[in-house]
Amino acid sequence: MKNIIFIAALLIASVFGNDAPSDVVVLTTANFKDNLAKGDWLVEFYAPWCGHCKSLAPIYEQLATSLKGKINVGKVDCTSEETLQEAFGIPGYPSIKFIKGKEVYDFNGDRTKEGFVAFVESGYKSQTPKALPNFEVKAPVAEPENSDVVVMTDANFDELASKGIWFLEFYAPWCGHCKKLAPIYEQLATSLKGSVNVGKIDCTIQTSLARRFGIRSYPTIKFLKDGEIRDYKLERSLEAMTQFSSTGYTSVVETSPMPPKPSAMEDMVEDAKAQLKKVEGFLAQKIWISMGVIFVVGVIVGAVLFGGSRSSKPAQPKTQKQE
């Protein structure tokens, strides 16, 4: 029985352990140019949270294996490789490019294995190519030492928000638009100091606040005055936001009250739901393998149990020799 459990554990580990080796090359700003020298490339620009990207993933893996040695297949995570995203002008996810030498072709065929193969073999010839863009590795932007932007958290938000007027930015550290807004937001905080507070909430950490305000995209900017919330949807410039904070906000008809702070139990339930969704998504990808593992383990256990019962015979009573 111990051997059976060991075998089952190995099978389950093969399913829920590390992913199998992939023929899709992970491309980054650092290795992109060196890899391009290795031949022609089909490159997917994606985001990990994108549903269409997730649907494409297994097809893309099969494609990479089938084209191995002929066409290189790579992927760029645009949430971490902002430089490449900007250089190629990626408008949405997934965006797929065929790079042949110094020329770039936009893939516009069917997202099937056959569609990709047809495009890289001859379909790209019907397009007018674009020149391969130049890009340089950008140095990370350091956080200002003396910032007037207040970092707001689940713990301090309600106390801080009760004190005066606020600009609230809900952001994610990997978001390119948030990074572009950062220096402008710093200027805004300094110029409005003493009249309007300027705060930011990292939604990747302060998940309770993100849920509380129903944040769906980044950056989301809200204006809080006298307990009323207004969505800021104008130009993200110092002048526009400054004008909005003085009189512009009055033109926003739709307002909403400050959403109530959830209880500890409500937070716990929501966190549990979020984790459950992740588990469901994981299991959905592994379901067929999981069923196979369960079947194999069941066959092994059944064979041992029933085989053992058939081979076992009742012990015969010993006979004593008569003297």
Query: Hey, what domains does the chain have and what are their CATH numbers?
Result: 18-131 (3.40.30.10), 150-257 (3.40.30.10)
Helix H, strand E, coil C: the string for 233-296 is CCCCCHHHHHHHHHCHHHHCCCCEECCCCCCHHHHHHHHHHHHHHHHHHHHHHHHHHHHHHHHH
Of these residues, 178, 189, 209, 210, which one is catalytic? Answer: 178
Question: Residue 203 catalytic?
Answer: no
Of these residues, 53, 90, 152, 188, which one is catalytic? Answer: 53
Cα R_g (the chain), whole angstroms = 29
Question: Residue 78 catalytic?
Answer: no
Of these residues, 4, 50, 238, 294, which one is catalytic? Answer: 50
Question: Residue 175 catalytic?
Answer: yes
254: tokens are 């739709």
Q: pLDDT of the chain along its 323 residues, tens only?
A: 545 544 554 445 444 444 557 899 999 988 999 999 999 999 999 988 888 999 999 999 999 999 999 999 999 998 888 889 889 999 889 999 999 999 999 998 999 999 999 999 999 999 999 999 987 765 555 667 789 999 999 999 999 999 999 999 999 887 888 989 999 999 999 999 999 999 999 998 998 999 999 998 899 999 999 999 999 999 999 999 999 999 999 999 999 999 998 877 876 776 676 666 555 555 554 555 556 656 666 667 666 666 655 555 555 555 555 44
Question: Residue 50 catalytic?
Answer: yes
